[in-house]
Amino acid sequence: MNTAIDVNSTSIEMEAGTDQYLTFMLADEEYGVDILRVQEIRGWDSATPIPNAPDFVLGVVNLRGVVVPIFDLRKRFNLENADFTPETVTVVVKVQHDKGERTIGMVVDAVSDVYNITAENINSAPEVGGSVSMEFIKGLATINDEMIILLDVDELINVGVLEDIQ
């Protein structure tokens, strides 16, 4: 049985002047996305494959009558593949592109936490190359001596990718 958490109905206290970020794990690194973009968190369930889709697109699922493409963020970031475990979840987010809003799912290793982060606590990401393209990174924040990579989901799931799978 697939369980889902509706983030919009969950009450999370927010401090003035901060934005909230849902964080999740990928290959022992913590990433975050703006919680206002998160629609729900679902346990991993299989997706229907789409022919000729990019390799990081696992397929699509029907989410209450809406066809939602499912992205494997490990593959999107060119990280080492890992087996899906009971902790593996799909974070369903809303992204903006030239044709409006679209719902997509991102498969991640596990959900971590929700943090309140002020704009002044977000640092620019250094240009160093690596597995995550810098255009996907909104910034870096340090919480409890741990670095969190904050992602820009609109850039991560860019228009070219969405057009390929529509």
**pLDDT at residue 155 in the model:** 86
Domain encompassing residue 160: 18-165
In a domain, 148, yes or no: yes
What is the number of structural domains in the chain? 1
Name the token pair of 76: 């999107």
Judge whether 6 lies within some domain.
Answer: no
| Assigned domain for 129 exists | yes
Neighbours of 34 (CB within 10 A): 18
Inter-CA distances, 141 with 17, 38, 128, 153, 155, Å: 15, 19, 17, 16, 19
For residue 12, being part of any structural domain is answered with no
Write out pLDDT tens, residues 38-86: 999 999 989 999 999 999 999 999 999 999 999 999 998 889 999 999 9
| Residue 71 identity (one-letter amino acid) | F
CATH number at residue 113: 2.40.50.180
Cα–Cα distance, 26 to 85 (Å, whole number): 13
Question: Is the residue at 110 inside a domain?
Answer: yes
Asked whether residue 9 is assigned to any structural domain, the reply reads no
pLDDT for position 77: 86
Does the predicted model carry a pTM greater than 0.85? no
Domain-located, residue 11 = no
Residue 38 lies in a domain: yes
